[in-house]
Amino acid sequence: MNMVVSSNKKPNIKQLNPNESTEIYFYVVTMAISGPIWIEAEFEAKDKEVTIYTYQYDVNHKNDEKYDVPNKWAMNDFVQGRLELLQTNTNIQILILTIITVLEAILGLRIL
């Protein structure tokens, strides 16, 4: 399934120093779908001679990586549905309660 959400907002971003970052919110949307998504943005400097280099934070390696294409940024992400998230939370709580019950039965623990 393809779904496109676009924004016509043109935020002004000040020049950033090394190791400085900024967050930009173009559009806040409630997704009607769940699963993998692709997010991309294209940047244009006021001065056409300026090239904008973007970076992404790699959570697996805990470092910043330069994005390959100048004046653009993109990443993949995953949208988890609210019901699925609530069910996962409920399952974790049931598991914790089960473990406590088993420990209480085996070890005779008394929890206030």
**pLDDT tens by residue, 21-49:** 888 777 677 777 788 888 888 888 888 89
pTM: 0.58
Asked if residue 6 has pLDDT above 70, the reply is yes
Identify the CA nearest to 51 among candidates 61, 62, 37, 66: 66
User: Across the strands, what pairs with 76?
Assistant: 38
Q: For the chain, first and last CA: distance in Å? A: 51
Q: Which residue has the higher pLDDT, 16 or 72?
A: 72
Q: How confident is the model at residue 1 (pLDDT cuts 50, 70, 90)?
A: low
